[in-house]
Amino acid sequence: MDTKEALKIFTDTQALLHGHFELRSGLHSDQYFQCALVLQYPRIAEQLCAAVVAKMRAQLGAGGKVDAVISPALGGIPVGHEFGRALGVRAIFAEKEQGKLVLRRAFQVKPGERFVIGEDVITRGGRVQEVVDIVTARGGVVAAIGVLVDRSGGTAKFDAPVFSLVQMTPQTWTPAECPLCKQGSKAIHPGS
């Protein structure tokens, strides 16, 4: 699956909207992406995630042995689950506790175990870095990071390679500079 096919699926499932939007940051954009809307279809989620795993396998080769997948809750969970299916390994997740991601439910990271981190969307990469820290603090190894959409414009960097299905950096403007506002249209708040 290439970027074009993935974007078509995002558009068909209305995960990717085109129009005039006010984002949570207050900035305006002509594009809005809500990954959960594509992941609500398990068979599509399976396909998209298998495509990321295929990229990962092609690059990591024989040295890319993976023991498990770990994801940040909530958005990363369905992605990690499908990565686990594609890789044939278990998938665990870290969840927020007092604003910080922690490993609960007796999920384990054993010393020397090799992990893939699964996430839906990377913007600045803070949540992924928290998961990297959880794995390495327990002696685990992060072999790769897989995401459906990298919105960082290449700025989110980690000690492990990042594999994404789509790189998509949204165009944003302050309301005063927004060309769509200048044309007289009104920004809407999607998904709230």
Binding site for Zn ion (CB under 5 A): 28, 178, 180-181, 187
User: CA 90 to CA 88: how far, in whole Å?
Assistant: 7
Please state the closest distance from residue 174 (CB atom) to Zn ion, in A. 9
Please state the closest distance from residue 127 (CB atom) to Zn ion, in A. 28
| Nearest position to Zn ion, beta carbon | 178
Of 3 and 185, nearer to Zn ion (C-beta) is: 185
CB 82 within 8 A of CB 45: yes
Of 108 and 185, nearer to Zn ion (C-beta) is: 185
Please state the closest distance from residue 22 (CB atom) to Zn ion, in A. 7
Of 131 and 178, nearer to Zn ion (C-beta) is: 178
Q: Select from 108, 113, 112 the least CA-distant residue to 93.
A: 108
Q: Please name the residues in contact with 12: beta carbons below 8 A apart, sequence gap of 6 or more.
A: none
User: CA 102 to CA 8: how far, in whole Å?
Assistant: 35
User: CA 56 to CA 143: how far, in whole Å?
Assistant: 10
Please state the closest distance from residue 171 (CB atom) to Zn ion, in A. 11
Of 27 and 89, nearer to Zn ion (C-beta) is: 27
